[in-house]
With several copies, the nearest count.
Chain A
Amino acid sequence: MSRYSWMIGGAQGLGVDTSATIFGNAVARAGYYLYGNREYYSNIKGRHSYFQVVFSEKPLHSISSTVNVLATFDAETIFQHFTEVTDFIIYDKGVEGTNLDMVRSMEPEIAEQVRELLSKNGLGDTVKDVISYLEKKGVKAIPVNYLELLKRVADAYKLPLSVVERAKNIISVAASMSIFGFKLDYLKQAISSLFKNDLFIKFNTMAAELGYSLTENHYKLPEIPVSKPRIQVDGNTISAIGKLAAGLRFQSYYPITPASDESTYIEANQNLDMIVEAGELRKGGAVVVQAEDELAAINMAVGATLTGARAATATSGPGFALMAEGISWAGMNEAPVVITYYMRGAPSTGLPTRSGQGDLKFALNVGHGEFPRIVIASGDHEEIFWDAVWAFNLAEKYQTPVIHIIEKTLANAYSVFDEDHILGKKIPIERGKIVKPSGDFFRRFEITEDGISPRAFLGEASMFYAGDEHNEEGHITEGTENRIKMYEKRMKKLETADKEIPEEQRVNVVGDGNIVLLTWGSPKGAIIDAMDELKDVMMIQVKMFNPYPKNLMRKLLQGKSKIIAVENNYEAQGAQILTENTGIFPTNYILKWTGRAITREEIIEGVKQIVEKGEKKVVLSAGA
């Protein structure tokens, strides 16, 4: 398969993300699908960040262990990533003399490792040493005199050097475009569409021209004709759009990485049009509240659901932990709140800007007591959109909290896919048993066969909610008969959901080999992308953990020679849930808990280790 990997790195706060988005945008214009992944420290300025973009003619969902072209303009990026480059490195001629000790932002442990590797190869610890190491290994190094080029740009527009400094990025992006053989025009278009300021467009365009002429077309990648519009979105944004499409009208949140960008996007786009009558638009708005903490955030959202508004919050581990009590109240009071759970490196503050899947069992068991917690997890950007819609429909149909898991890696990564995978499709809204009360009083918690009570909203009639065990009217009662029935009624909703939701909808299955790669969430992408090189494999991605698709899973796993749990955690929690529900254990494990995404090559290599070398468990570590 033709799959190319490009990476750009640099200190946080210097525009690495923007240039990666521009590069992606330009490559997409050339007709390629792509997937881009962002890595950064929990820091505002100065620490190392990088962006990897992988592209191909076919849709992609993962990054690679190696990098064809590495675009750099500082020393740290070279030190952190030179082991990954296979073909080209673009670098600043001016930093050749920089040695490891001079890069103070680099973590001492990492510097130590680099020093060791270089010295093993008989080399010193300067950038120059690295470059010669690379050249020996066949990598082509492209030195750039950024300072001189920037000066030219500054002069041309009579701007101080500090203003045009970030055009460094564009120079290296342009050089990369030229190496791959993409038209400069696409880059110019991307610049025009992504910068707002005219002057910025102009001088960046000049920088692009300068950069483009630095190198030559090496890969000679063809242009691919595109028939249908495509979009480029990250996980935060597509989740926000999905929630708005689903009818979200109240979101409360407290800032936290990597969740808050979703809320910021919703707030920026809170004024909405609704097609209420055919052809007639009505304007409405989604209220977004920055709460004082996550305790307030969850409870505001739960309160909002009682009025009939579709309401949600978005958070990650530390904030989610603070929501436990509120989620339990929502369960007890059958409030259809949606929690978008952006999972990141844990425990505690952990790796706040890295990814992880270590909170699955916490999400599944959050809050004291027994009540239905529906938990779904998305494996790629398209899924995020549809799952966001699904989450609200589930919440209202089963009148219970729904937790939608999106990992940091997907939240901050972007992919390019066909627009009609979203637009033009029916976006189903199922609001469940909503009624208009007739009398003065409404029995909110009527006991029914399927556990689901008719629901009306505050203000429509007198009704009561209570976190205490309550009777059908919502008043506190401690009697045992009511307790048995009311408890059973709540729990029955899970059985009803289990009956109503086809198990096939809760699991993604690709292939039907004898070696099962059992996963959930983001590793799906690496597995799918690896499957063309793997033999006799089958991917099973669990999308809904509660109610768990037990019967289908039993059927799918029956007689398989290997069940390999692939997860971004230590315990293989997704597999533990499988065992709890079916008694089936995985036979092997491919696990990674560094906070970095699993690469396609790691899957291929991991499966090899297991199938050929008989390893029980493979621990992955790729990615700086």
Chain B
Amino acid sequence: MQEHKPVFVDWCPGCGNFGILRAEEMAIRELGIDPKKVIVVSGIGCSGKIPHFIQLPIGGVHTLHGRSIAYATGIKLSNPSLEVIVNIGDGDGLGIGMGHFVHAGRRNIDMTVIVHDNGVYGLTKGQASPTLHRGLKTKSLPRPNINDAVNPISVALSAGYTFVARGYAYDVMHLKDLIVKAIKHKGLAFIDVLQPCPTYNDINTKEWYDKRIYKLDNDPTWDPKVKSEADQQTKFERAMLKALEWGDKIPIGVFYENELVPTFEERIMQNIPNYLDYYPAKQEIEKNGESTTKIDELIKAKRV
């Protein structure tokens, strides 16, 4: 068997996922990180296949529906030298995975979460995803959607993500820039990517988005970055209000950016001072077939 056979990218023609794939590859290249240190963790769905399709020698972990953030957490915390990117579907990450999505915000681990937001459960044939608005009837729905939509941006802000952005799958360069920023960001970064699904979502199409999307950066006064404690409250509130904008105008770009919140890794270091130098994956637990770990003290503390 030859090394690394090319994998057939089996998304539908015209799928927005191609744009995300290209943007992510470009971002990794631009950052000049050793690809094998980049671990792309995904869930289940059309979106979940992305690690297999990346044309770089990365590490790919295609996990369970809704659980990729948990896998990523285990990977990153036991080897913080890795660059972890989580690609989730909107059903995957914001439907079944909503609990993990919110709780990740409470930890602020230094990694990046990218949602492929197509409004549908693609791989199971087009059911409504949690980001599809109520009353909409996409192609494969027998009737209009009866659930309200979640707002990924406001949920991410509420949850404590310290970098919150929205991108658009067909604006690859802009998305690439967002991914670069998200990866560079110290803390948990979130990008909601509007990703047309030409096969099942015939409402939020390219044409539909093209008419509505504008860039936050167009406004020269828009500065989402928190620079001081004092800044925090105002920037957060502004981001939150901006997050509510949806309809005729849809903003893309960075909503909020805050590096003043300590990362989870930093919080661990309060308890394990040499954590980053000698992290779990690095520790030599065995020598000549024997345990290296000294447990004498623990046992002797139990002496009677």
Contacts and interface: CB of A to CB of B under 8 A. Distances in A.
Query: A and B: partners?
Result: yes
A299 B67 contact: yes
B302 to A, nearest CB: 4
Interface string B1-43: 1011101101111000000000000000000000111010100
A266 B205 CA distance: 29
Of B268, B280, B303, most buried by chain A (CB within 10 Å of CB) is B280
A75 interface: no
B304 A272 contact: no
A458 B91 CA distance: 27
A267 B57 CA distance: 36
Given A287-B275, A329-B63, A440 B57 contact: yes
Contacts of A233: 302
Interface stretch (B117-125, B164-172, B207-215): B117-125
A245 B99 contact: no
Contact of B302 (A46, A231, A275, A468): A231
Contact of A462 (B4, B124, B127, B199): B4
A294 B61 CA distance: 20
A423 B132 CA distance: 40
Interface residues of A, number: 115
A423 B302 CA distance: 12
B65 interface: yes
A249 B303 contact: no
Given A272-B294, A283-B278, A295-B70, A467 B52 contact: no
A445 B4 CA distance: 13
A137 B35 CA distance: 50
Interface in B245-304: 268, 271-275, 278-281, 283-287, 289-296, 298-300, 302-304
A304 interface: yes
B274 A283 contact: yes
B189 interface: no
Contacts of A231: 299-300, 302-304
Contact of A307 (B12, B75, B287, B298): B75
B12 A287 contact: no
B130 interface: yes
Of B56, B75, B91, B127, most buried by chain A (CB within 10 Å of CB) is B75
B82 interface: yes
A311 to B, nearest CB: 7
Interface in A423-445: 423, 426-431, 439-441, 443
A420 B99 CA distance: 46
Contacts of A229: 300, 303
B101 to A, nearest CB: 10
Interface in B51-104: 51-52, 56-67, 69-75, 77-79, 81-82, 91, 95-96, 98-100, 103
A249 B285 contact: yes
Of A28, A302, A348, A475, most buried by chain B (CB within 10 Å of CB) is A475
B142 interface: yes
Contacts of B278: 282-285
B218 to A, nearest CB: 35
Contact of A474 (B60, B72, B98): B60
A391 interface: no
Nearest to B124: A255
A433 B82 CA distance: 23
Given A422-B299, A441-B4, A462-B59, A250 B74 contact: yes
Interface string B107-119: 0000000000000
B178 interface: no
Contacts of B66: 293
Contact of B77 (A44, A297, A304, A326): A304
B128 interface: yes
Interface in A209-232: 229-232
A349 B64 contact: yes
A119 interface: no
B74 A303 contact: yes
B115 to A, nearest CB: 16
A306 B75 contact: yes
Interface stretch (A256-264, A523-531, A532-540, A545-553): A256-264
A200 interface: no
B125 A464 contact: no
B64 A304 contact: no
Given A289-B73, A426-B290, A441-B3, A458 B299 contact: no
A44 B12 contact: yes
A49 interface: no
B294 A275 contact: yes
B44 A467 contact: yes
Interface in B104-162: 121-125, 127-128, 130, 142-143, 147
Nearest to A34: B304
15 contacts: A230-B303, A246-B285, A247-B283, A276-B287, A285-B280, A293-B99, A300-B71, A428-B289, A440-B36, A458-B39, A458-B75, A459-B37, A459-B59, A462-B4, A462-B36
Given A256-B124, A290-B127, 17 more contacts: A44-B123, A250-B74, A264-B142, A274-B285, A285-B271, A295-B100, A304-B75, A304-B77, A307-B75, A318-B44, A419-B300, A426-B290, A427-B291, A443-B3, A462-B56, A467-B62, A476-B62
User: Which 8 pairs show the lowest CB-CB distances between chains A and B?
Assistant: A303-B74, A247-B285, A285-B272, A462-B57, A249-B280, A299-B70, A303-B71, A300-B74
Interface of A: 13, 24-25, 28-29, 41-47, 104-105, 107-108, 229-233, 237, 241, 244-247, 249-250, 252, 254-257, 260, 264, 267-276, 281-287, 289-311, 318, 325-326, 329, 348-349, 389, 416, 419, 422-423, 426-431, 439-441, 443, 457-468, 471-476
